[in-house]
Structure 1
Amino acid sequence: MDPLALIPLKTQQEDAEDERSYQVHSDLVSTLPEDSRWAPVRKFHGFWFRDGWLPSILATREHFLARPGDVFIAAVPKSGTTWLKSIVFSVVHRGRHPPHHEDHPVRHANPHDLVHLHDQLYRWRKNPDLTGLKGSYGIRPIPLDEALDMFCSGITNSGPFWRHVLEYGNEHVAHPDRVFFLKYEAMKEDPVGSLQKLAAFLGCPFTADEESQGVPAGISELCSFSNLRNLGVNKDGVLEKGRHVEKKLFFRKGKVGDWTNHLTPEMAEKLDRITKEKLSGSGLSF
């Protein structure tokens, strides 16, 4: 059962308050700086957001209360989020779902069905259209060089990218018990080692018996990109979480360095230069 279905329907008074709150946030969004070269986005507190989603983001920011034991996976789109969701689920629930079991949920459900998207956590129960997640996205295909220019200037969905990296990186240094900073390349290079560090951070380190039985390696194999991509549950059908997305679109090549097939040397040099400038003095590098 979808755990969101357990949330009780709101009263008429609560619905009216939601409508009022949404309208207040919508009015605020309409006054913010905008850009529409790729899709309609608005700038709020230094970050760019899809304008149709921003009222709900602001409502979530206003009402959502995290619990001490909550775990959030924060990442930009297409950076391995789906892969990491399967790993976190399998690490946390390995006692009930050993990786070698044929009925393991990862083999039968898309990772986004196992670990919900944050945009689904705050749901306007009676009128889901208020989330702004349905209807036309208004995304316009643009040339790669123009997209790169926008990325480098920070005008992307939830951009600028470097500010996210810096803020999470700084929090990791200040509070390593609360923020675990992962790099995609490091996970690809040493998946089992990354799993062990992740399990320790989540408060459920692998025991000596689990290590000797190959549990970390089993989870790594189960959640490997090649295995996930070839599972029927991730190849067929659509994911319906307020929007319809073909499941196969969540999995691309999953290879480090594939950018060389898309970016020219000049584009790569520009991106490297700006990355070094933005992260200068932080101790972070890519």
Structure 2
Amino acid sequence: MEKSDLPKYLQEEEVSEECRELISSLPTEKDWVPGNLYQYQGFWHPSKYLQKILTCQNQFQARASDIFLVTLPKSGTTWLKAMVFALVNRTTYDPKSTQHPLVSNNPHELFPFLEFEPRNDDNQVDSSPPPRLIATHLPLVSLPESVKKSACKLVYLCRNPKDNFLSLWHWHFSNNPTTEKWEETFEKFSRGVNLYGPFWDHALGYWKQSLENPERVLFFKYEELKEDPGNHLRKLAEFIGFPISKEEESFNVVDQILELCSFDHLSNLEVNRTGKLLSGHNKSSFFRRGEVGDWKNHLTPKMAQKLDEITKEKLGASGLTF
């Protein structure tokens, strides 16, 4: 396949000498899609991402007012972005308004990604007024030191690894039909070889931080958010410093935000049904089903058992369960 035939997010870019030297020293595996993954600080990334991660680590300066949304790919990122944007901006944009930015923009277009923004005076992150809303897939160990030392807030959302694998596979396939076969990608996911993987190490890092520093890290599970979205939205609002007032409760602002950000509403908007993001991803690929337990319709009992056993082994006595 020619480079020009690949989606933009898979096309290699020129990397610095520093990055080339680093790549030459790292463990490597074939990616699920054309190209290779490299294990940096214990997690797997394409070379294109590594260059951006290094730049981010070297240059990004966190602010105490920053709000970071941290996820593994396909763990509810789109939904979380929509809810936080609606919460923070609810006095500027009425959740009931047909002119709300979430009606005319894909949620990913409203949230800059920490590791993918260019580091210059004009980038979307650095020019944003406080609080800056920033998304990232980076594991805890790879966050810039300024983030680790700052008083900023980190909201972490993860989901059952069986559903995460299924959603990740479908997302890769919808954006790139040459994705490896189902069995091959499952074997790699089980070994932790996937974009920003291993799943278990990523989740465990933030889980431990949420226990040690609950004022800085809020840990959510997608399944719990789906089961009781109202109370979790209130908890989220309180944590990021935008609590729901009694007056707002009286006119059901929580329900209004949940309706605005619901899967059914967002997935049926024309802006999310057609076209691509600047990254080259199909907008529709971020809205597949959004269900809990869909893995039961796709994974064999043997596959499910294998992931359950790995989860039990990896998470041990941490208190984190799925």
Normalising by the residue count of structure 1, what TM-score does the alignment of the two structures yield? 0.84
CA distance in 2 between partners of 1:115 and 1:203 (Å): 18
- Structure 1's 269 and 216: CA in aligned 2 closer, same or farther, altered over 3 A? same
Which of residues 86, 89, 92 in structure 2 aligns to 1:96?
Answer: 92
Which of residues 31, 52, 55 in structure 1 aligns to 2:51?
Answer: 55
Q: Does 1:36 align with 2:30?
A: yes
Aligned to 2:259: 221
Aligned to 1:129: none
> Does the 8 Å contact 2:225/2:232 carry over to 1?
yes
Paired amino acid for 2:111: V
Aligned to 1:159: 197
Aligned to 1:274: 310
CA distance in 2 between partners of 1:168 and 1:32 (Å): 24
> Does the 8 Å contact 2:230/2:255 carry over to 1?
yes
Which of residues 112, 135, 142 in structure 1 aligns to 2:180?
Answer: 142
Q: Please identify runs of 4+ aligned residues in structure 1 that moved more than 6 A.
A: none
Q: What does 1:59-208 align with in structure 2 at a 5 Å threshold?
A: 59-123=55-119, 140-208=178-246
For structure 1, list consecutive stretches of 5 or more residues without a partner in the other structure: 1-18, 127-136
Which of residues 213, 225, 237 in structure 1 aligns to 2:275?
Answer: 237
CA distance in 1 between partners of 2:74 and 2:274 (Å): 19
For structure 2, list consecutive stretches of 5 or more residues without a partner in the other structure: 1-13, 123-174
Larger CA Rg, structure 1 vs 2: 1
Q: Secondary structure at the match of 1:151?
A: helix
CA distance in 1 between partners of 2:92 and 2:110 (Å): 14
> Does the 8 Å contact 1:41/1:48 carry over to 2?
yes
State the identity %: 44
Q: Which moved more, 1:205-214 or 1:47-56?
A: 47-56
- Structure 1's 220 and 138: CA in aligned 2 closer, same or farther, altered over 3 A? closer
CA RMSD of aligned residues (A): 2.0
- Structure 1's 232 and 37: CA in aligned 2 closer, same or farther, altered over 3 A? closer
Aligned to 1:258: 294
Q: Which moved more, 1:224-233 or 1:142-151?
A: 142-151
Aligned to 1:3: none
- Report the alpha carbon displacement of residue 45 of structure 1 after superposing the two structures with TM: 1.5
Higher RCO (CA 8 Å, separation ≥ 6 residues): 2
Q: Deviations over 1:39-94 (max 9, x none)?
A: 40111121111122212211211111111111111111111101110100001111
Q: How many residues align?
A: 255
